Structure formats: C-alpha cells, structure tokens
Amino acid sequence: NKIDHIGIAVTDLDEAIETYKKLGMELLGTETVDDQKVRTAFFKVGESCFELLEATDPSSPIARYIEKNAGRGGIQHIAMQVDDVDAEIERLKGEGFLMIDETARDGAHGNRIAFLHPKSTHGTLLEVCARKK
C-alpha cells in the first residue's frame, strides 16, 4: 500500500530521539519488543514513519547490524504496508522469495510483520507489515 516505515538502527535511542525531535518530527511513541530484543521509537513522517531501533541485547539483529556497519547506525530495513501479512507471505513464497519469517509475528505498535531474506531482495532487508486486526 505504501512505505509503512523505514527502520533505522541507532546506538543510543535517547540521544537519537532528541536529534529526530530537532529535525522537527513528531514522536508517536516508544516500545520495547522483547521478541526482537530492541527498543523502538516511532516518528511520523507524513503518511509513513521512521522506526528508530536500539538493541537491548548483543544477540539482537540490530546489534549485529551495527557490528557489521563498523559500530555505526544506519538504515537497517524498509517496511511495506500490506492488508494481509499472512496472504502476502504465501504469495511471496509462491514467487520464490526466501522468508526470514515463514509465518507472521507481532511487531511494535500492534503490527503483524514478516521479514524477507536480503538474499532474495538484492541485499535489502524488507519487511511486510499490517495493522493488527
């Protein structure tokens, strides 16, 4: 439907929140997602969002991203909003995409999400997400 959000890895979420506020963006809220071992902050950018992500554990995908990125944050994933994540996962699998999540799981802010493997998307980590019904 649209770019739902852009996931940005940061090393210090509180500092990053102050920076993004100064950029003039509206903070929608923060949330810890234990499943992904991250603390997140959502900023509204028109119809889409920036999702700032800080690792809460060294085994978090965000910690691994920062490690690979020479200790710096950066754009980690892009999320596309769909109506039905489960149907989309099946469609993508049918097209031969490799999924990190074979079934949808809970993301931040009541979203249902699934990640595609960067191996099958030319190196970019893509997420499909839908508002929880």
Residues that bind Zn ion (CB under 5 A): 7, 51, 79, 127
Q: How far is the CB of 42 from Zn ion (least distance, A)?
A: 10
Is 96 or 108 the residue whose CB approaches Zn ion more closely? 108
Is 94 or 123 the residue whose CB approaches Zn ion more closely? 123
3-state SS class at 73: coil
Phi-psi region of 86 (alpha: psi -120 to 50; beta: other; left: phi over 0): alpha
Neighbour count for residue 28 (Cβ, 10 Å): 14
Q: How far is the CB of 79 from Zn ion (least distance, A)?
A: 4
Is 9 or 96 the residue whose CB approaches Zn ion more closely? 9
3-state SS class at 72: coil
Residue 31, H or E segment: strand 26-33
Q: How far is the CB of 10 from Zn ion (least distance, A)?
A: 14
